[in-house]
Amino acid sequence: MGQDQDYLSRRVAKASTFFEFISSLYCPASIVLSAMDGPDHNTLGFVRIIWIDACGIRRCRVVPKERLKDACGSGVGLAGACMFLPCWGDCPPNHPATTPAGEVRLVVDTGTLRAVPWRPCDSMALAKLRTEMGTPSDFCPREALGRALTLLEQETGLHLSVGFEVEFNLLKAQPGSSGPLSQPLDHSIYCATSSFNGAAEILREMCSQLAELGDVIEQVHPESGPGQFEIATQHQNALDAADALVFRKEVISSVAQSHELVASFLPKLYVDQAGNGCHCHFSLTDAGGQNVLADGERPYSLSTTGEAFAAGVLAHLPALMALTAGNPNSFRRIAPSTWSGAYSCWGVNNREAPLRLVGLPGRPQSINFELKTVDGTANPHLALVGIVAAGLLGIRHKLTLSDPVQVDPGMVTSINDSEGV
């Protein structure tokens, strides 16, 4: 019992250090108007001001386009407690941060203003959370990520490049059933051509609208679960990647709805089927855009800096998962022998490891790490804050990786148990 308590105390201490570091990062229009002009400029247009709360839920306040200038200046008022509403209802938790007094201002970030592909007379933009005095709010995830990336650049001269793989189930209503989400679009197996054929028009429409928003699609394919698909996009700088992921999920949901379907990003929708991740691929680049993870003279062609960053992510993974996979449903997805990253290890192209080194021989610019313990319930900006913080701690402390695990860790555990080891 004493050993268990000592182990738990060490883990709690490590998590506390990690979150103290996170906290330090989390605190402290003519062109815009022309973007609103479109083929339906005489139609009443709306601007959706989108923010993502601590539960990863996309929320919006909406103003007529005539009020866009005000929304870019003083913003739109919002109760600060709304950042912390639970995913199951509109009931703020009992915490000093969720007092009914005071508010934040949702200020349109003009750099994120986009026409809504499925409704051209409307636009959407991400919000900057500001105090009533106009200073950055302590509750703003995008501001926190900006601070983290600035700190990474100041200490190392490096930038974080990120690409997300979005997985989702397409669900349809089942006539006569009591619930609208009981029937998946299909029941095919992984990468089945029949599954792609059945959803090709829907996926084409999704990718077409994503391209309108500037996304560069790298892959689209059917996944293992019922009605499950994946869309993977090109790497970009971390803040743009997180912003783009928000719009990406908006597009996927809207296109599905137009086809009388629902897109579910829930980590574990079916008990006995594959769940939905939102795997995060990341690399480090220098000021010239060169990938600095690679060093052909070292083991696994992994640079010293890249190893230290990855070792920090792995060392702080238990605490980091509060930001990347913090919903109880998230832990139903992360299970042994399901390629979801249930173990504390890393591997070279080992899809059972939560941290996977990816790359092609002779192509150093292709080297990146995939973190599998990220899902659709995460606020993407906060998830990346956590990755930057953990990686930066790894660089500061010159952490190193142990030997990679190149088998299913569960199989090793089973063998050891059977031998009484």
330-353 pLDDT per residue, tens: 999 999 989 899 999 999 999 999
Residues 110 and 161 in one domain: no
Beta strands in 250-375 (DSSP E): 261-264, 280-285, 346-348, 355-360, 363-371
The per-residue pLDDT string of the chain (421 residues; one tens digit each, 9 = 90 and over) reads 455 455 445 555 666 666 566 555 544 344 344 444 544 445 569 999 999 988 888 998 999 999 999 999 988 988 777 777 777 777 777 766 666 666 889 999 999 999 999 998 999 999 999 988 888 888 899 999 999 999 999 999 999 999 999 999 999 866 655 555 568 999 989 999 999 999 999 999 999 999 999 999 999 999 999 999 999 999 999 999 999 999 999 999 999 999 999 999 999 999 999 999 999 999 999 999 999 999 888 888 899 999 999 999 999 999 999 999 989 999 999 999 898 999 999 999 999 999 999 987 677 778 999 999 999 999 999 999 999 999 999 999 999 999 999 888 877 654 344 333 3
Single out the residue in 139, 168, 201 at which a domain terminates.
139
Instruction: Retrieve residue 302's tokens.
Output: 């992994």
62 found inside a domain: yes
CATH of the domain at 396: 3.30.590.10
419 found inside a domain: no
Residues 204 and 62 in one domain: no
- CB distance 340 to 275 below 8 Å: yes
115 found inside a domain: yes
18 found inside a domain: no
In sequence order, the β-bridge partners of residue 349 are: none
In sequence order, the β-bridge partners of residue 283 are: 161
- How many domains are there within the chain? 2
Please state at what angle helix 317-324 crosses helix 304-315, rounded to 10 degrees.
80
The residue assigned the tokens 């795997």 is 279
71 found inside a domain: yes
Question: Which residues, including other chains, have CB under 8 Å from residue 113's CB and lie 6 or more apart?
Answer: 32, 35, 123, 124, 125
Please state at what angle helix 317-324 crosses helix 2-26, rounded to 10 degrees.
50
- CB distance 365 to 301 below 8 Å: no
CATH of the domain at 59: 3.10.20.70
227 found inside a domain: yes
State the greatest distance between any 2 C-alpha atoms of the chain, in Å, as a whole number.
Answer: 76
Residues 171 and 284 in one domain: yes
311 found inside a domain: yes
The residue assigned the tokens 């919903």 is 327
Residues 206 and 238 in one domain: yes
16 found inside a domain: no
Segments forming the whole domain that contains residue 324: 150-414
Left, alpha or beta for 314 (phi > 0: left; psi -120 to 50: alpha)? alpha
CA dist 55 to 86, 141, 188, 240, 382, Å?
A: 7, 12, 31, 20, 10
Give me the sign of the Cα torsion angle 125, 127, 133, 135. Answer: negative
pTM here? 0.86
